[in-house]
């Protein structure tokens, strides 16, 4: 049944043999080592179906009645131009900034609870490699980092009084308020 599913998915996404093989290779090692050959094919089919937008991971889990592990993401990303290093901070202590409201598909170190929120720069820190870029290939871009202070009342509907939350953020996470 898993093999039939795979054939259907293959037709739908026009995936190559290499892509199937790679999606099996991308299985989490603990999962791969402890599951059957059948399950390898099922995981490969499901992973490709999710990645090509045929079904969502949560739909799969709902149908499976629980945890449905998929393979890990593609580890060899396309080469992109990430732009030059930024060595001059765009912001200074006291500046009002807003955290960008984008939700990147991959790795980021911008905590979710501050997305779209306004804060004040309280400290300008060193220049460091942006994790969002570092995670996805060999390209690197270095940027200034800042400590940005948020009023808890701005972060949460039930924010407690007299509470300030400081978060350390990369330059490209921020825009001027």
Report the interface residues with other proteins, using CB under 8 A.
Answer: 28-30, 33, 72, 75-76, 107, 109-111, 113, 123, 125-126, 128-129, 131, 134-135, 145, 147, 152, 155-156, 158-170
Q: How far is the CB of 12 from other proteins (least distance, A)?
A: 27
State the angle between helix axes of 37-51 and 17-25 in degrees (0 to 180), rounded to the nearest 10: 110
Pick 63 or 123: Cβ nearer other proteins: 123
CA 171 from chain centre, in angstroms, equals 18
Roughly what angle, to the nearest 10 degrees, separates helices 37-51 and 2-13?
30
Q: How many residues does the chain have?
A: 177
**Tokens at 66, concatenated:** 């629980």
**In whole angstroms, how close is the CB of 85 to other proteins at the nearest point?**
16
- In the bound state with other proteins, the residue whose beta carbon lies nearer, of 38 and 113, is 113
Rounded least distance, CB 107 to other proteins, Å: 5
**CA–CA dist 121, 176 (Å, integer):** 11
Distance in Å, CB of 135 to other proteins, minimum? 5
């Amino acid at each position: 049944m898993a093999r039939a599913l795979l054939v259907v998915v293959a037709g739908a996404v026009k995936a190559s043999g290499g892509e199937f093989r790679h999606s099996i290779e991308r299985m989490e090692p603990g999962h791969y080592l402890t599951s059957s050959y059948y399950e390898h094919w099922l995981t490969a089919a499901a992973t490709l179906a999710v990645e090509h937008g045929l079904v969502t991971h949560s739909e799969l889990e709902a149908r499976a009645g629980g945890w449905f592990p998929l393979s890990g993401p593609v580890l060899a990303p396309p080469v992109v131009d990430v732009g030059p290093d930024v060595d001059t901070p765009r912001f200074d202590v006291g500046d009002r900034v807003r955290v960008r409201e984008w939700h990147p598909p991959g790795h980021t170190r911008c905590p979710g609870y501050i997305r779209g929120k306004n804060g004040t720069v309280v400290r300008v820190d060193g220049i460091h490699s942006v994790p969002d870029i570092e995670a996805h290939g060999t390209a690197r871009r270095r940027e200034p980092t800042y400590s940005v202070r948020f009023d808890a009342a701005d972060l949460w509907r039930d924010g407690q009084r007299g509470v300030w939350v400081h978060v350390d953020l990369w330059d490209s996470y921020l825009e001027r308020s």
